[in-house]
Copies of this chain bind each other. A is one copy, B any other.
Amino acid sequence: MEVRDRGFSKYTRLDRALELISSEVKEIGSETVPFHESGGRVLAKKCKSKSDVPPFDRAAMDGYAIQAEDSFGADETNPKEVQVIDSIEIGVSPDVQISEGDAAKIATGAPMPEGADAVIMLEETQRENSKLKILAPVSPGKNVSSKGEDVRAGQKILEAGRRLHPWDVGMLASTGNTKVQVRKRPVVGVAVTGDELKKPGESLDSAQITEANSHALEVAINREGGTSARIGKIPDDIEAIEEALKENTHRDMLIFTGGTSVGARDLVPDAISNSGRLVFHGVSIRPGGPSAFGTVKGTPIFSLPGFPTAAHISFEMLVRPALRMMQGRPWNKIRTELNAELERKISSKLGRSDVVRVKVKSSEKGYRTEPIRVTGSSILSTMTEADGIVVVPEDKEGFSEGKVVKVGLLNRPVC
């Protein structure tokens, strides 16, 4: 029996594979960036406010700053009358003192004057020259946004491991966090093996195909917060692969595609084993079963199948979580899940997690989902058509038509 006919001695369960990966992947270091360059970066440690927000008591409505007591008992038939002694604008410190019977016109966002404890809205007043009729009562503190009400100095504002959204960046700016400690971007070396592969645009003879995985992976790595470093094509030769492994251990992670199936030309897992440590080869997922993982000089290395769909699903199920582990982010739940009614049954083999690509449709009653028909793991178009995936776990033989299943959204980064 030839080597390529052996089959895998055993498949590692998906959850176990992720455990093994998490025990090998180390968190990457951090760097300090100006807050305005922190969008999309991952916080390395929790962030506290350096100031009170708002930084002073201010009006939350356009109206008049008064002592609330002056409004007690007021209504439209029995208005209370006060004297307007000043007008307070935004951006200017008021130098007026509000005593009993006084009012100062105030704009939303303007600082409250001394002595005043409430703002009566414009709509609840009637003004005649300097006389102001109050038509409704307000309680102390009403329509005032008090100093530190939104965020207090020293308060935690953002958790470590958070990927910063636009308004997180606004929060950093507002709270005096002009510099932010974020995770470095993991640099991921991407190599492809396969003598049959040609670069996009190169002409093909009758047995050659265009190499697409490395380009898709580069975009996917960037989207998960990493930076890709192109290694390029390595010949189908174990020594060349070992050489490429050794030359690239300075990267934070390496991804090889191709050369993972058990067989004469399936060289990457053997090269990992010869150069370092092969942690697993063969995972109970489909597509993506022939995936392998190991380390060389401590650098985590993924060996993904060469077929695009298998490479994609392996990336989604194994590598994306690893990139998140590296950045100190949650990695167990990485896709937004929708509940959707299955439009056609899904069959699956016990002992294997089937990762079924699906389309999602919105209907009056909720979401419906349709598995995309495939004939093999090479069907690239399933990857562009899919809105999400349905995972049939190892202990299920599938899902029947009409069942409500969880669809993990793809192509929609969940940040």
Residues of chain A touching chain B, judged by Cβ–Cβ distance below 8 Å, are 4-5, 35-36, 39-40, 51, 53-56, 60, 62, 89-94, 107-111, 122, 145, 149-151, 157-158, 164-174, 176, 178, 194-197, 200-201, 204-213, 215-220, 222-223, 236, 261, 263-265, 306-308, 312, 336-339, 362, 366, 375-376, 378-381, 383-384, 409-415
Contact = CB atoms under 8 A, between A and B. Distances in A.
Interface of A is mostly: loop
26 contacts: A35-B215, A36-B200, A51-B204, A60-B375, A60-B376, A62-B261, A90-B207, A91-B196, A109-B378, A149-B375, A151-B381, A166-B216, A166-B217, A166-B218, A167-B411, A170-B215, A170-B216, A171-B380, A171-B384, A173-B200, A173-B210, A173-B216, A178-B201, A336-B409, A411-B415, A412-B415
**Copy total for this chain:** 2
Closest 9 CB pairs of A and B: A91-B196, A170-B216, A39-B219, A166-B220, A167-B383, A173-B212, A166-B219, A170-B212, A178-B201
B219 A40 contact: yes
Contact of A107 (B91, B222, B263): B263
Given A51-B210, A173-B211, 6 more contacts: A91-B196, A151-B380, A165-B219, A167-B383, A170-B312, A173-B216
B339 A339 contact: yes
Most buried by B among A55, A176, A200, A236: A200
